[in-house]
Structure 1
């Protein structure tokens, strides 16, 4: 079987879409420049790295997943160096994709506001996800899914409290901006598992798959891409309201 390293994974599956999207959006006057220039992307990347690193390393320590022999260049804490690079590159790809498609969607015509009741509803909805995740942590087979949901809940609570009504108003942009990168990275994750770059524990996963991909991995990419897209969609609306 052909050997694929984690560095090779980046070269084959992460670098090409990043290069293509960067090249295309660089030539667009209204797409990339309207998103990339006005959004503190560096702050988003820093937050992604800071929030993901402890969670990622804990799950490696717990044995939820591990890496093949000789497929990583080195480790920082318990995670491979390439893992941290992936945490940074995935949001960049999602940002460029959103920038590319955003010009095809109109801004909401009516002014959207969030009442205190609306904000509480957003927090409650996210809290429901968090509670479900915490419950799943108590069973080995749902541990990984529970870890994903309970980890996602605080970020979703913040974003939905800020502007879930605005996200609903722009649901088409949010959905397309999220699903395309999430599906792409989920498909590449399936390839990485096939080549043994990383493997998932049977004990801590449900065993349910879609096209050979564990549903937990699919959920992870949907959630992490949603973090980025919702933040980017909300940003100009929040700034406009502050002004």
Structure 2
């Protein structure tokens, strides 16, 4: 292969983006007001990032290797260094690096010092979890056709994670929906552009048999969907991680109060 390799893709797109996020973190934090707090300050945030990264590697590896073995995508000749199972070493590196890249971006954003009270939290959780269940059914159905196989694999694989996150904290994620959207869409857009270039240069190739053929600016919709849901996993996971820590901290400060998660008003909770 005479074109760029998968390792060069990392060096050209992921490493510079991560370095930029680190370099600009201090500026963004200095501009935050006293009413907000940067998400990425403190050891606990990066502990959460490490936990999410391990979960991402464990959850994604079997799925990723299965799709490669099925022929959903493959890699250009000479574009990878060594293969472990069915995936190249650089693929595992990507799985490890993406959560940190998204977390670095999210660390630039701010979280208000107080969680808002929300009404009907149980109902919100039930509805959101049911929506994740619908996504799973849709994904499972799409697996039945070759042309929608990859899209179905992404949707069915993503649904259990979304169901868990929404069952735990759908009300708080909705209350922080602007933060979720901004935290998710910026790295998703960047990685979609990088992915489109990688496909153009043949670093990896998607099967026409297992994809719909639908594209956005030349990028298969399946790839865009993948980056959307995986970045959503990371962003929602880190916000919920902060919420749980705040809940525990509040509980420690006043053990005489019943344990009610921060931001939930038990008087308004109903199903």
Report TM bin, short chain: over 0.9
- In the alignment, the residues of structure 2 paired with residue 155 and residue 36 of structure 1 have an alpha-carbon distance, to the nearest angstrom, of 25
TM-score by length of 1: 0.93
Q: Does 1:40 align with 2:42?
A: no
What's the CA shift for 1:22? Answer: 1.6
- 3-state secondary structure, aligned to 2:74: strand
What runs of 5+ residues in structure 2 fail to find an aligned partner?
Answer: 31-36, 252-271
Partner of 2:93: 85
For the pair shown, the structure with the greater C-alpha radius of gyration is 2
Deviation at 1:181, TM superposition (A): 0.1
Distance 1:203 1:108, change over 3 A: farther
Question: Superposition pairs for residues 33-182 of structure 1, below 5 Å?
Answer: 33-34=40-41, 37-38=44-45, 39-100=47-108, 102-103=109-110, 106=112, 110-112=116-118, 115-182=121-188
> Does structure 2 conserve the Cα–Cα contact (< 8 Å) formed by 1:131 and 1:150?
yes
- Alpha-carbon distance, 1:237 to partner: 1.3
C-alpha contact (below 8 Å) 2:141/2:152 kept by paired residues: yes
**Which blocks of at least 5 consecutive residues in structure 1 are unaligned?**
none
Q: CA deviation at 1:113?
A: 6.8
Conserved 8 A contact 2:40-2:104: no
Partner of 1:6: 6
Is 2:121–2:171's contact at 8 Å kept on the other side of the alignment? Answer: no
- CA change 1:162–1:113 in 2 (3 A) is farther
Shift, 1:34, TM fit: 2.9
SS in 1 for 2:41: helix
Q: CA deviation at 1:109?
A: 5.8
CA distance in 2, matches of 1:79, 1:35: 34
1:69 match: secondary structure: coil
Query: What corresponds to 2:238 in structure 1?
Result: 232
Q: 1:36, 1:95 within 8 Å by CA — same for their partners in 2? A: no
User: CA-to-partner distance for each residue in 1:95-149, whole Å, 9 max, x for gaps?
Assistant: 010111x22x535663237744433222211000000000000011000000000
CA contact (8 A) 1:49 1:84 kept: yes
In the alignment, the residues of structure 1 paired with residue 119 and residue 242 of structure 2 have an alpha-carbon distance, to the nearest angstrom, of 14
Q: Distance in 1 between matches of 2:21 and 2:239?
A: 18
How far apart are residue 36 of structure 1 and its match? 6.0
Distance 1:99 1:69 in 2: 37
Instruction: Give the alignment's Cα RMSD to 1 decimal.
Output: 1.9
Determine the C-alpha separation between the residues in 2 that align with 1:98 and 1:60: 30
Retained in 2: the 8 A contact 1:141–1:205?
A: yes
Q: Verify the 8 A CA contact 1:122 1:164 in the aligned structure 2.
A: yes
- 1:46-87 Cα deviation digits (max 9, x unpaired): 000000000000000110000010000111111010000000
Q: How far off its partner does 1:25 sit? A: 1.9
Deviates more, 1:23-32 or 1:204-213: 23-32
User: Hey, what's the Cα distance between the residues in 2 that align with 1:172 and 1:114?
Assistant: 20
Partner of 1:24: 24
